[in-house]
Structure 1
Amino acid sequence: MSIPLIDLAKLTHASKDIRQTEISALDKACREIGFFYLVNTGISTELMTALMTQAKRFFALPQEDKKAIDIKSCVNHRGYGSIGEEQLDEVGHSDWKETFDMALDLPSDHPLAAKYPTMYGPNQNPSDPQTVEVLQEYYVQAFEVAQKLLTAMATALKLEEDFFTRCFKDHVTVLRMIHYPPRPSQDHDNGAGAHTDYGCVTLLLQDHIGGLQVKNRNEEWVDATPIKDALVVNIGDLMQRWTNDEYVSTAHRVRASQEDVHRYSFPFFVEPDYETEVACVPSCMAADKPAKYEPILSGDWIQSRFDATYAYREGK
């Protein structure tokens, strides 16, 4: 399996023929692999570089400074996560990484924060305003890319163009910074355990180090080798459910960095409004192919996956 390359500029091209050819390639990638590289996103190299710089600066802070915005003290799961906090592979080792999560920054008295306090509310931000500015700018631009991609997916599935995008008015999309430091021992090489993402789609910016691997249909791990300025996109469990398993959510993992090597990556987890009812889309069911899943609220699904991944959230 080779991971295909999709051109966002072609997905949004003025020429219907060029647009449709690329949409067909996108549809094939979503059905057969669930992973693809996305190029010509419109996100500048300068912004990507700035994000990398700010991540290195943030994760180099003293531990007590990072713990001042500890994710465990935040009911809506925002802020800093220490090494070993997350275990994506439920039967393996804890992940060897530290993280920072942010999403829409809503005041604590916002109606949605009051109704769904574990999913909405204020961010816990780094103390450096420049870091916050870069994070917010990247969040806005990555969200624009996601909306264009979801529009193309809707077209590929023979749905109304805004079938997915209209579900993102008060979305719970999360931008994460990840630092994979070198492991202090070589008892295993887990950076992030084998897992599928539980949201809609994920847009990943990774550095040049590499380490991301995707499981192909032969149960073999294939390297997702970094391509400069490209995002790696994968289908999440929620989209697979939405499309009645037509679009596939594929397992992936991250191998731990080599000695003295630090890796940084930036997944953008695209997740719709909490109250979005996720039921089988019309074009993915037929008399001989009924819906496999009961309808579920997007937020309820994502909440259940959070709670299974983070030990500290049990009982919340």
Structure 2
Amino acid sequence: MDTIATHKHVASVSLADSLRDPEGFAAELGKSFETYGFAIIADHGIPADLIARAEDKAKAFFALPEAVKRGYHIAGGGGARGYTPFGIETAKGASAYDLKEFWHVGRELPDGHRFNEVMAANVWPREIEGFKQTFLELFDAFDTAGLRILEAIARYLGLAPDYFEDTVSDGNSVLRLLHYPPIPGDGPNVRAGAHEDINTITLLLGAEEAGLQLLDRDGDWVPVTPPPGALAVNIGDMLQRLTNNVMRSTTHRVVNPPPERRGVSRYSMPFFLHFRPDFLIETLPDCVSAERPNLYPEPITAHDYLLERLREIKLA
């Protein structure tokens, strides 16, 4: 039986402190990322009214008839844009699919952009008024908050504060709108099986509804329960690889609710912040030592790494 450790807590910080005390904020945030791979961040600058509007638009989309939603599923698209139906995504190494459906919004690129061949164009549902405008606004707000968090990570690693700006400029980031429908009963499937994120960092809104848990170094599952409106932020595999496992990409999951909550849907909005596709993920020299040999001697571009991982989770 899994051990749930309720006495362990990831750091809970205010992004406003990154301006008041940049080094202190970076130290607290970085320690939590190094220990747990997660942190809770308040005062992140994403407007509450924008979050509320986005939640309403997402719920309206998922309430559409199944046939209408499936009209936005792009066959062979690897789930990069538009709608991914219930029962497709499967955690790496798992046999039972996750109990979720989702919609992906990517970065809007101008015609002729150098990344157009590897970053698909967005699609937008015609049925939900204001959907495009709302989620482009939210994408930009996540992008801004993410860059401030990366600045603190850079400070913690002893890098120039603006180190990550170029690495994520025009990055292949994805905003995911998630719907976990009511659970009919017991079974092998869970809302999100144990997994690690592929990307650089993930910023998650909507984790107030219980269910998100991380697996710590002691083998305990630790609940991650941010207060309303706060972000749950975690390290992805790309940043773990870049830092030679100094920053931890921690296994996490979303467990099924207790019986009294099984009839309630769960909604959330994770933003998967990515490096630009041609960024070469090559171990940072300062993260290699005699005590910490280079675990990733072969560099790989962010795009190639993404494709490799998408195949593992059956999205490509």
Answering whether residue 130 of structure 2 is matched by residue 122 of structure 1, we say no
Answering whether residue 170 of structure 2 is matched by residue 173 of structure 1, we say no
- After superposition, give the CA deviation of every residue in 1:44-66 in whole Å (9 maximum; x if it has no partner): 21111111111110100011111
CA separation in 1, counterparts of 2:179 and 2:79? 21
- After superposition, give the CA deviation of every residue in 1:145-192 in whole Å (9 maximum; x if it has no partner): 000111111111111222212112221000000000012232246100
Aligned match of 1:19: 22
Aligned match of 2:307: 303
Aligned match of 2:3: none
CA separation in 1, counterparts of 2:188 and 2:289? 46
Aligned partners of 2:115 and 2:277 also within 8 Å: no
Q: Secondary structure at the residue paired with 2:253?
A: strand
- After superposition, give the CA deviation of every residue in 1:235-261 in whole Å (9 maximum; x if it has no partner): 111111110111111110011343210
Instruction: Output the aligned Cα RMSD.
Output: 1.8
Q: Secondary structure at the residue paired with 2:104?
A: strand
Q: Residue 100 of structure 1 is aligned with which of 77, 100, 103? A: 103
CA separation in 1, counterparts of 2:236 and 2:68? 33
Aligned partners of 2:191 and 2:254 also within 8 Å: yes
**Once the two structures are aligned, what percentage of the paired residues are identical?**
32
Answering whether residue 266 of structure 2 is matched by residue 263 of structure 1, we say yes
1:278 counterpart letter in structure 2 = I
Aligned partners of 2:35 and 2:248 also within 8 Å: yes
Answering whether residue 254 of structure 2 is matched by residue 290 of structure 1, we say no
Query: Where do 5+ consecutive residues of structure 2 fail to align?
Result: 1-7
Q: Secondary structure at the residue paired with 1:213?
A: strand
Which stretch shifts more, 287-296 or 82-91? 287-296
CA separation in 2, counterparts of 1:70 and 1:52? 21
Q: How many residues align?
A: 304
1:277, distance to aligned residue in structure 2 (A):
0.8
CA separation in 2, counterparts of 1:207 and 1:238? 23
Q: Secondary structure at the residue paired with 2:191?
A: strand
1:113, distance to aligned residue in structure 2 (A):
2.3
Aligned partners of 2:198 and 2:236 also within 8 Å: yes
Answering whether residue 278 of structure 2 is matched by residue 275 of structure 1, we say yes
CA separation in 2, counterparts of 1:189 and 1:274? 33
Aligned match of 1:235: 235
1:89, distance to aligned residue in structure 2 (A):
4.3
Q: Residue 39 of structure 2 is aligned with which of 36, 39, 45? A: 36
TM-score normalised over the length of structure 2: 0.91
Aligned partners of 1:108 and 1:122 also within 8 Å: no
- Correspondences of 1:56-71 after superposition (within 5 Å): 56-71=59-74
1:90, distance to aligned residue in structure 2 (A):
2.1
CA separation in 2, counterparts of 1:107 and 1:72? 24
Q: Secondary structure at the residue paired with 2:16?
A: helix
TM-score normalised over the length of structure 1: 0.91
1:112, distance to aligned residue in structure 2 (A):
2.3
1:39, distance to aligned residue in structure 2 (A):
0.8
CA separation in 2, counterparts of 1:142 and 1:60? 25
Answering whether residue 144 of structure 2 is matched by residue 144 of structure 1, we say yes
Query: Where do 5+ consecutive residues of structure 1 fail to align?
Result: none
Which stretch shifts more, 34-43 or 165-174? 165-174
Aligned partners of 2:98 and 2:189 also within 8 Å: no
Q: Secondary structure at the residue paired with 1:123?
A: coil
Aligned match of 2:226: 226
Aligned partners of 2:172 and 2:273 also within 8 Å: yes
Runs of 4+ in 1 over 3 A off after TM superposition: 73-76, 106-111, 287-290
Aligned match of 2:10: 3
1:19, distance to aligned residue in structure 2 (A):
2.1
1:126 counterpart letter in structure 2 = P
1:108, distance to aligned residue in structure 2 (A):
7.3
- After superposition, give the CA deviation of every residue in 1:7-32 in whole Å (9 maximum; x if it has no partner): 2111122xxxx221111111111111
Q: Secondary structure at the residue paired with 1:305?
A: helix
CA separation in 1, counterparts of 2:158 and 2:54? 36
Aligned partners of 2:207 and 2:225 also within 8 Å: no
Tell me: CA distance 1:2–1:167, structure 2 relative to 1, closer, same or farther (3 Å). Answer: same
1:221, distance to aligned residue in structure 2 (A):
1.4
Q: Secondary structure at the residue paired with 1:265?
A: strand
Tell me: CA distance 1:133–1:222, structure 2 relative to 1, closer, same or farther (3 Å). Answer: same
2:300 counterpart letter in structure 1 = I
2:165 counterpart letter in structure 1 = T
Aligned partners of 1:203 and 1:231 also within 8 Å: yes
- After superposition, give the CA deviation of every residue in 1:79-103 in whole Å (9 maximum; x if it has no partner): 1011111001422410000000111
CA separation in 2, counterparts of 1:228 and 1:283? 37
Q: Secondary structure at the residue paired with 2:53?
A: helix
Q: Secondary structure at the residue paired with 2:163?
A: coil
